[in-house]
Amino acid sequence: MIGRVMDAGPGEPPIWVMRRRATAWTTPQRRYYQLVAALPPLRDFRRTRVLPMSQRRLEERLALLHPEDLADLRMAVSLVSWRRQPINRTTAEIAAMYEECMAATRNRALRSTVEFRMNVRTVMVALRLKRLGRGVPSGRWGVGNYTRTIESRWTDPEFGLAAVFPWIPEARVFLDQGDATGLESLLMGLLWTKLSQVADRHPFGFEQVFAFAFKWDILHRWLSYDAQKARRRFDKLVLEATSEYQDIFA
């Protein structure tokens, strides 16, 4: 269970906040005119059928980033990625990665995006624990600024966070219905919208590049669901076809 890893001590701001304050005025705002122009447009993942760029091509493009930005992006991707997390990764390890990412990442929008994604994951953990009938979690179970609020408002269906996370009621409905695809679509849509807002505010900045990389990841994941579905259907059709052959030669 993840504790409140962001707390440095009584009355003191977290360590990463103090580091951020020290570097806020010294972080360069790099512009990536060539890189952004070399990226294809990404339409809403729910209406896209083909991945507009291969992973190899994406890696080639991202190689144009400044080494510092590339390092920050790679660290953030390990937390924000929709690809399946390693099973043996513990909550404590994820919390440590989150803390390290927040301390090391120079770009404010990237930190905000990682924080947003991890808050969503924390709330989802709480919703799932509650649905399993568990009591108030203790120790290390989530990350971010809302773990204490969730613990203290455990009996509230929305943990007192309905104003901050208005999507919680909808997520609860999907959980109750066992609609994993609907829930995934909702959560991916939240991050997609957030990334679109970040990219629109910083044209040709690093923000536009990492927003593309994260959106590409969402799209890649979403299309893989369709591929799995298609494979199941294909297997079913093959089975039906071979069954007919068996009948013919019977």
| Interface pattern 195-224 for other proteins (x via CB under 8 A) | --------xx--------------------
Query: C-beta of 33: minimal distance to other proteins in Å?
Result: 4
User: Judged by CB under 8 A, does residue 40 bind other proteins?
Assistant: yes
What does R_g of the chain's alpha carbons equal in angstroms?
A: 21
User: Judged by CB under 8 A, does residue 63 bind other proteins?
Assistant: no
User: Judged by CB under 8 A, does residue 238 bind other proteins?
Assistant: no
Q: Return the number of the residue (9 or 41) whose C-beta is nearest other proteins.
A: 41
User: Judged by CB under 8 A, does residue 28 bind other proteins?
Assistant: no
**Segment near other proteins (CB under 8 A), from 30-38, 76-84, 135-143, 236-244?**
30-38
Query: C-beta of 37: minimal distance to other proteins in Å?
Result: 3
List 22, 23, 26, 33, residue binding other proteins (CB under 8 A): 33
Query: C-beta of 192: minimal distance to other proteins in Å?
Result: 19
**Segment near other proteins (CB under 8 A), from 28-36, 118-126, 150-158, 167-175?**
28-36
Q: Return the number of the residue (51 or 186) whose C-beta is nearest other proteins.
A: 51
Residues at the interface with other proteins (CB under 8 A): 31, 33-41, 203-204
